[in-house]
Structure 1
Amino acid sequence: MATGGIRSSRVSPAFLHGNSTSHTWAFSAIAELIDNAYDPDVNAAELRIDTRIINGTVCLTFVDNGNGMTQEKLHKMLSFGYCEKKQIGKIRPIGYYGNGFKSGSMRLGKDAIVFTRNKDSMSVGLLSQTFLKNINADSVLVPIVTWDLPSNILFA
């Protein structure tokens, strides 16, 4: 990929698995995902962890009632090395290097689908080793779809 004549870096799909091995056990990966829900900018008061069976596959779900993300914030969260977390008052965010979600989710499975909603939009992002393998990708691609919400819709 070139930007104004300067080649930009890419990330191999194999990195998703390799990066996940920083978690030697599943509970440290789960802790990464819990930490994200309780960062001060997320403002979640509740987090639910559950399993669902979808098309015969056991899926682990994490659902919080936080502020949600914009499309841009979701894209950065699903990318490597981006972190916009800031201290709010005396509360410091746990993550800093922009890697916890990727390493944690890929330790727990090969695919992560993120659904997020804020007051203006809803987005879905896919970080998937299965998808990348099926399309023979040579670098990590992260599909994201966003819908703008009408201003007169209220969510509880």
Structure 2
Amino acid sequence: MAAAQTEHEVPKSMLCPKFLHANSTSHTGPFSAIAELIDNAYDTDVNAKQIWIDKTKIKGMECLTFMDNGNGLNYKSMHRMLSFGYSDKKVVKGKHPIGIYGNGFKSGSMHLGQDAIVLSKSENDLCVGMLSQTYLKKIRAEEINVPIISIKKPEAKQYILLSM
């Protein structure tokens, strides 16, 4: 597959799915990866006051869940958070954020597991994003894809949740 082209035919950089695993090795153990995810929740622009971490089984698989009561993500901020090297973090009231390089969530979550599903509720949006090594292997992806579904809150009332 050829690299994606811009309108001027200059190739865009690509990111191989194997990079998800390679990048996760920047953490020396699970505690630094968990600390990374906690730091993201407590950054000044996220505004979380509490975070909950739980281990549960879903369909026979061990899962870690991280939940906070922060501001949430809209589609654009979810896409940036799941992309490499992008950060919307800003200085708030003189406090500099921790997550400024756009890599922590990806390295931390992929160190802890093969897949991350992010559910977020912001002021106006409900978003679901996925960073999944399992998915990328299954579709034989040659570059990283991050599926995201975003629904405006008023439109969300039109949907019915079905569990599998």
Q: TM-score, normalization: structure 1?
A: 0.95
Q: Which residue of 2 aligns with 1:46?
A: 50
Aligned residue for 1:3, secondary structure, equals coil
Please list the CA deviations of residues 79-106 of structure 1 after superposition, one character each: whole Å capped at 9, or x if unmatched.
Answer: 0000121111132211211000000000
Distance in 2 between residues matched to 1:98 and 1:144, nearest whole Å: 18
The one of 72, 77, 89 aligned to 2:93: 89
Sequence identity of aligned pairs in percent? 55
1:10-89 equivalence runs, <5 A: 10-89=14-93
Distance in 2 between residues matched to 1:99 and 1:71, nearest whole Å: 18
Q: Which residue of 1 aligns with 2:162?
A: none
Q: TM-score, normalization: structure 2?
A: 0.90
1:146 has 2:150 as partner = yes
Distance in 2 between residues matched to 1:70 and 1:119, nearest whole Å: 8
Distance in 2 between residues matched to 1:150 and 1:33, nearest whole Å: 30
Structure 1: 5+ residue stretches without partners: none
Distance in 2 between residues matched to 1:139 and 1:113, nearest whole Å: 18
The one of 5, 9, 23 aligned to 1:2: 5
Question: What value does the CA root-mean-square deviation take over the aligned residues?
Answer: 1.2
Distance in 1 between residues matched to 2:123 and 2:47, nearest whole Å: 14
Q: Which runs of 4+ in 1 moved over 4 A?
A: none
Give 1:69 deviation, angstroms.
0.7
1:113 has 2:117 as partner = yes
Give 1:121 deviation, angstroms.
0.8
Give 1:38 deviation, angstroms.
0.3
The count of residues paired between Structure 1 and Structure 2 equals 152
1:130 has 2:134 as partner = yes
Structure 2: 5+ residue stretches without partners: 158-164
